[in-house]
Chains A and B, each alone.
Chain A
Amino acid sequence: MLKTLIEAFALISTWEVIIAMLAASVYGLVIGSLPGLSATMATALLVPVTFYLSPIAAIATIVAASSMAIFSGDIPGALLRIPGTPASAAYADEAYAMTRKGEAELALGAGVWFSAVGGIAGTLSLMILAPPLAEIALSFSTFEYFWLAFLGLMCATLVARSSPVKAIAGMFIGLLVSCIGIENPGGVPRFTFGITDLFGGIEPIPALVGVFAVAQVMRAMLTPEPPPIPRRKFGSIMAGQWLLTKKYHWQMTRGNIIGIIIGVLPGAGADMAAWVSYAMSKRFSKEPEKFGTGHVEGLVEAGASNNASIASGWVPSLLFGIPGDTIAAIAIGVLYMKGLNPARRCSPKKRRACMRST
């Protein structure tokens, strides 16, 4: 365990990886904090860039950008009441209420601090959980993989917030798109309509950019822009975070654990973790009447939860190839393109490397 850990650190401590992580973090921060541009879109737009990076740097880029984007979604949530990513939607109201009370610094700081704590807790869980689960994954045969793939597809319908029928219909449309091309048992051109460009099938990158990025631009065409924020001076956002940690350490731990559990479940991602944790925090709070009026407790728990779920969401992605959420789905695509196939074809060493980059 310790040896692989050191090996993994050696793998990521090259200039290329560090610079890529730094740049990806800044990029994720910017995209996540722009309302309407989700963490998923940030990741999807990164895919073409990862093409030109080494495998480790590519994974590091995706991981860094996605976790940064999830955290920075709190920023417009707190300041504008518009969650930057769906994962911040659960407590955007609460954070905005704090901003109105003049506690914007505290709300933002809680977002940063407890997101970071959550991310570390999730990563630790990934390191501890992944090896025993990998043993199970190694003994899988074709039948298990079929049902696992089936489970993954079904989970895709669970995450949709709309009606399950529409989600299943969406899944079928996706499957239909994947039928295009000559990669089928008979090797006959299928649904190509005589267009040679379609013979190779629809590649994942254009599909991802089309589904996530173009759709977002289409949505932007119809939504009016948010009003400008009044200017004021900001204090330090990290002030008072340590006091909060001591006061709400139990809430933080509970948020981390819930986030890890939800992240490990395939198909349930950061936004679900945030909602569940926020609800839980309210339910078990000593002062539930303060919720909704700008109370930091729910923010602590949900903030710790959504980032923990991002990290532990890599467990099903790396071991079984089932994405925990849309970001992981894109990341799996990147892994495949880099030859680091998730599931059993990913050698243990490389898998540890993927793990560490979180």
Chain B
Amino acid sequence: MRLPDRVTGLFLVGLGAAAAYGGWQLPPVPGQPVGPNVFPLVIGTGLALCGLAIAFGIGHSFEEEEELIPVEGGKPTPPTGKLYGLRALLPPALLLFYVVVADKLGFIITAALIVFVTSTALGARWKLSLPLAALAPIGIHLIFSKLLRVPLPAGLLPMPW
């Protein structure tokens, strides 16, 4: 999935403008020339300028097309559906899912769901992904609670240790 430069550039202009505006709203420190508003202003302006440059294709000539190394014996043909590109959004979506759900469901159940979905999306059969989803969260839970001493949310399925 590749967005055209124009879209990315305009998004950056928006982000930069928002940052600069947000910085503008912050109160200055009385009697000091540099307050909390300076950095967001500078960064936001710079970001907006870069966004404009990207949208207008400045510096495009420096870019190299990513070289796909041909593989011996049969080229890998990536399936090109419209929805295929959206798969890239799966990992961040799953992270958000974890943030929202982890406290209620607990680590084990949430992680099992995430492992199952990720491994299936990466091409594992259910014979592999189901055991993986069952065992991997327990292993990770052991590492975190025993080795690293980081408590993970217990939720519906607390672990006996």
Contacts and interface: CB of A to CB of B under 8 A. Distances in A.
Interface size class, chain B:
35 or more
A291 to B, nearest CB: 18
A292 to B, nearest CB: 14
B158 interface: no
Contact of A224 (B59, B69, B78, B148): B78
Given A172-B46, A176-B44, A185 B32 contact: yes
Given A185-B36, A190-B40, A166 B92 contact: no
Interface string B113-152: 0000010011100000000000000000000000111000
Interface residues of A, number: 40
A162 B47 contact: no
Interface string A160-193: 0111111011001101100100001111101100
B41 to A, nearest CB: 10
A5 to B, nearest CB: 33
B104 interface: no
Nearest to B86: A221
A157 B101 CA distance: 38
A69 interface: no
Interface string A206-217: 000000001001
Nearest to A161: B64
A328 to B, nearest CB: 24
Contacts, number: 125
Contacts of B91: 214, 217-218, 221
A42 to B, nearest CB: 17
Given A217-B91, A227-B73, A165 B39 contact: no
B29 interface: yes
Contacts of A166: 50, 54, 59, 63
A52 B144 CA distance: 11
Contacts of A82: 69, 71
A80 B71 CA distance: 8
Interface of B: 1, 12, 15-16, 19, 22-23, 26-29, 32, 34-36, 39-40, 43-44, 46-47, 50-51, 53-54, 58-64, 69, 71-74, 76-78, 84-85, 87-92, 95, 118, 121-123, 147-149
5 contacts: A169-B50, A176-B15, A214-B95, A224-B76, A227-B76
